[in-house]
Amino acid sequence: MSVGLIYDPIYLEHDTGQHVENAARLRAVIALLEEANTMGQLAPLRPRAASLEELSMVHSMGFISYVEAFAERGGGWLDADTVVSPASYNVALHAAGGAIKAVDAVMSGEVQSAFALVRPPGHHAMRWEAMGFCLFNNIAIAAKHAIDSYQLERILIIDFDVHHGNGTQDTFYNDPNVLYFSTHQYPFYPGTGRVDEIGAGVGEGSIVNVPLPPWCGDGDYLRVFEEVLTPVARRFGPQLILVSAGYDAHWADPISQMQLSVTGFAEMIRTIKTLGEELSNGRIVLTLEGGYNLAALASSVRATLDVLLGNEEIVDPLGESPRVGATHPIDSLLQAIREIHKVS
């Protein structure tokens, strides 16, 4: 099974100092992939910079110019969460371009699936606004590129970051060609992602939100994937699956209360891979979002790639959460979502 990896040292140049989203995240992932010899099993893919035309499919030209000028002036804090350094604009172009390159590699058959190990992350970025550590919305730009360049009519975006991808949802809220599915801790930043946010107009029903209570673990997430994701994906019939792969729902992550393990992430990826083989000719592209415990992040990315590669053994050095189990049953939540989206 040919699996591509988008990576370049340019992603380390987005200098956020002591911010939780910093270059050490990618260094930890690359170090583990090399130590475990996972890197030797992957097809290396070099990113390129996204063009202004590609960015403008999702973001306004005024916003793009603002980010560029802000970086050129030396950077700083765009908002209370989001840091920009002098190199950040160029790095962000390559993050979006890396996701585009991953789509091209998968659609051309160069690889079966691909992981874009990029930063800054993207799924909070709005048309006119950077937020939540994100400058440009990598996954949304990749989806727009796939539709424009390959005339795709059905793209599924799966977002399992612990935070709701408000920027991605906003981009496709009225778009019937993209089905956006999100699991996220709720209530939590950024405050969006309720079950009744389902899209509008011709896009009504194309947004599927699963706002989970804190402390949900592997079993809860796998139920969601089995009872909600699988039937809505099969009904939609995607030609390409894109994944906002955020690993901050791991139990050891410092900024969330979810209780997923590395093994749990691996099982979620198995479900996605099975859906890809069944529905999209195996075409799957993942792009990195969150994940801020370095050991948990690195091990979870390794496990993700092992599943995509077809490696049977999953290494989970952190093990299960010491606090497994949700504080609130999710039966009524899942029933409500199934009723809203008419799946049995």
167, 144 contact by CB (below 8 A): no
**Which position among 94, 124, 164, 184 bears the catalytic label?**
124
What CATH number corresponds to the domain at position 255? 3.40.800.20
* Extended beta strands in the chain, E state: 3-6, 43-45, 76-77, 83-84, 113-116, 155-159, 178-185, 207-212, 240-245, 284-288
Single-letter residue type at 125: A
124 is catalytic: yes
Based on the structure, what is the number of domains in the chain? Answer: 1
Residue 310 burial (CB < 10 Å; 0-12/13-18/19+)? exposed
Q: How far apart are CA 171 and CA 166, in angstroms?
A: 9
**Residue ranges making up the domain that contains 301:** 3-340
Q: Quick check: helix, strand or coil at residue 288?
A: strand
Per-residue pLDDT tens digits of the chain, which is 344 residues long: 699 999 999 999 999 999 999 999 999 999 999 999 999 999 999 999 999 999 999 999 999 999 999 999 999 999 999 999 999 999 999 999 999 999 999 999 999 999 999 999 999 999 999 999 999 999 999 999 999 999 999 999 999 999 999 999 999 999 999 999 999 999 999 999 999 999 999 999 999 999 999 999 999 999 999 999 999 999 999 999 999 999 999 999 999 999 999 999 999 999 999 999 999 999 999 999 999 999 999 999 999 999 999 999 999 999 999 886 545 689 999 999 999 999 98
Q: How far apart are CA 285 and CA 241, in angstroms?
A: 6
pTM listed for this prediction: 0.98
